[in-house]
Amino acid sequence: MSERNIDPSTHGITKMPRHVAIIMDGNGRWARQRGWLRLKGHQEGARAVKRTLELSYKLGVRHLTLFAFSAQNWSRPKPEVQGLMALLGEYLRTEQAELMRRGIRFRTIGDVTKLPENLQREILDLQQRTASNDRMDLIVALSYGGREDLVHAARAVAADAIAGRIKVEDIDIEAISARLYTADIPDPDLMIRTSGEMRISNFMLWQLAYSELYITEVLWPDFSEDDYIDALRVFGGRERRFGLTGEQVGGGGERER
């Protein structure tokens, strides 16, 4: 991973998102089209992760969230799940030095207690080692679901209400947001989904309320730097109104949240 040295404007990017979230879809389809096992698609997808992280770093994206393994993915065939866990462990080990060298903080969202214990230890170790890094956040959604995230927050609110730490009438948007897995992470400005599927698949249901959505037919293993730049260009041309009119936000300006 080379130094951060790309001016977004040189690629026609007029406005950079602070937080990009990606549903990395199409690994299995990519492998099937070539007559290979699905795991081969996931292995190639890991290379796309590295490309995307590198370009995000160079361009100055502050937070990159990758939907790596959903709460529902546990129902997939056992060999595929085991292969995915092995790939994750390999990534944690091989990329640690680069994350440290570049000042990238590694974080996870989701119920990681369901992962194998050795992976839980490796995740915790990498989180602790990179905790003070402040150039960029790499956030990996593992055993994550948007509905499950909301249940997690609802339970936390209920527990605090029972304990008298919060009054029922004080439960508002901020109270829920503060108890999500993403409590101290800004909502995504841009959500990219590869493979052309027109759904968000239980991903960050609360947090995507005002995110710009970009859907591409490109399968994740083929997602290139040019594909990513195209998505960022499109984002730069969007008018984000957050429920207001175009006139209220200045005919193309972006209102602060």
Q: Which residues pair with 190 in a beta bridge?
A: 20, 212
Using DSSP's 3-state secondary structure scheme, residue 135 falls into: coil
Candidate list 73, 111, 222, 230, residue with the active-site label: 73
Active site (annotated) includes residue 125 = no
Q: Which residue has the tokens 């915790």?
A: 124
Active site (annotated) includes residue 5 = no
Token pair of 63 as six digits: 């937070």
The HSE-up count of residue 63 (CA atoms within 13 Å, CB side) is: 19
Token pair of 93 as six digits: 């080990």
Cα 183–Cα 137–Cα 254 angle in degrees, nearest 5: 70
Backbone angles phi, psi at 23, to 5 degrees: -90, 110
Candidate list 25, 149, 189, 227, residue with the active-site label: 25
- Say which residues have a Cβ less than 8 Å from residue 110's Cβ, sequence separation at least 6: 69, 71, 141, 142, 143, 144, 145, 148, 149, 181
Nearest to 50 by CA among 86, 90, 80, 16: 90
Token pair of 17 as six digits: 């998102």
Residues 38-47: b if buried by 16+ CB within 10 A, e if exposed: bbbbbbbbbe
Backbone angles phi, psi at 228, to 5 degrees: -65, -45
Length of the chain as a residue count: 257
Catalytic machinery residues: 25, 73
